[in-house]
A = this chain, B = another copy of it.
Amino acid sequence: MDGDTKTMTFLQELQDEPATLDDILISCRATLKYAIKTAHPRYFNQLSTGLDMVGLAADWLTSTANTNMFTYEVAPVFVLLEYVTLKKMREIIGWPDGRGDGIFSPGGAISNMYAMLLARFKMFPEVKEKGMSSVPRLVAFTSEHSHFSIKKGAAALGIGTESVICIKVDESGKMIPADLERRILEAKQKGFVPFFVSATAGTTVYGAFDPLIAISDVCKKYNVWMHVDGAWGGSLLMSRRHRWKLDGVDRANSVTWNPHKMMSVPLQCSALLVREEGLMQNCNQMHACYLFQQDKHYDLSYDTGDKALQCGRHVDIFKLWLMWRAKGTIGFEAQIDKCLELSEYLYNKIKDREGYEMVFDGKPQHTNVCFWYLPPGIRYMEDKEERKKHLHKVAPVIKARMMEYGTTMVSYQPQGDKVNFFRMVISNPAATFEDIDFLIEEIERLGQDL
* A residues in contact (CB < 8 Å) with B: 11-19, 21, 23-24, 27-28, 30-32, 34-36, 38-39, 45-46, 48, 50-51, 54, 56-61, 63-68, 73-78, 80-81, 84-85, 88, 106-110, 113, 117, 127-134, 137-138, 147-149, 151-152, 154-163, 204-205, 260, 266-268, 283-284, 286-291, 293, 295-297, 309-315, 318, 321-322, 324-331, 393, 396, 399-400, 403, 409, 411-415, 420, 423
Question: Given contacts A15-B328, A161-B129, are A267 and B54 in contact (CB under 8 A)?
Answer: no
A328:B16 contact, CB within 8 angstroms: yes
B318:A31 contact, CB within 8 angstroms: yes
Inter-chain pairs besides A19-B328, A131-B162, 8 sampled, C-beta below 8 Å: A28-B58, A32-B64, A36-B74, A106-B314, A128-B161, A133-B160, A151-B286, A289-B413
Complex Cα gap A267–B287 (Å)? 23
Question: Given contacts A106-B310, A156-B157, are A77 and B34 in contact (CB under 8 A)?
Answer: yes
Residue in contact with A290 in the complex, picked from B13, B296, B315, B423, CB distance below 8 Å: B423
- For the complex formed, measure the closest distance between the CB of A325 and the CB atoms of chain B, giving whole angstroms: 5
A420:B132 contact, CB within 8 angstroms: no
B160:A157 contact, CB within 8 angstroms: no
- For the complex formed, measure the closest distance between the CB of A19 and the CB atoms of chain B, giving whole angstroms: 5
Q: Which of A63, A68, A324, A328: most chain B CB closer than 10 A? A: A63
Q: With CB as the reference atom, state the residue of chain B lying closest to A150.
A: B286
* B residues near A58, Cβ cutoff 8 Å: 28
A134:B160 contact, CB within 8 angstroms: yes
Residue in contact with A130 in the complex, picked from B67, B157, B162, CB distance below 8 Å: B162
Q: With CB as the reference atom, state the residue of chain B lying closest to A265.
A: B66
A66:B400 contact, CB within 8 angstroms: no
Residue in contact with A411 in the complex, picked from B158, B160, B290, CB distance below 8 Å: B290
- Can you list 16 residue pairs at the A/B interface with Cβ under 8 Å? A13-B88, A16-B328, A23-B325, A27-B325, A34-B76, A35-B75, A35-B77, A48-B68, A130-B160, A131-B154, A147-B311, A156-B284, A290-B413, A296-B396, A296-B399, A297-B396
A57:B28 contact, CB within 8 angstroms: yes
B14:A329 contact, CB within 8 angstroms: yes
Q: With CB as the reference atom, state the residue of chain B lying closest to A392.
A: B295
* B residues near A309, Cβ cutoff 8 Å: 109-110, 113, 152, 156
Complex Cα gap A113–B134 (Å)? 21
A128:B155 contact, CB within 8 angstroms: yes
* 7 nearest CB pairs, A to B: A158-B158, A131-B160, A132-B132, A132-B158, A106-B106, A297-B400, A148-B288
Q: Which of A60, A128, A330: most chain B CB closer than 10 A? A: A128
Complex Cα gap A113–B114 (Å)? 14
* B residues near A400, Cβ cutoff 8 Å: 296-297
* B residues near A159, Cβ cutoff 8 Å: 131-132, 158
A107:B312 contact, CB within 8 angstroms: yes
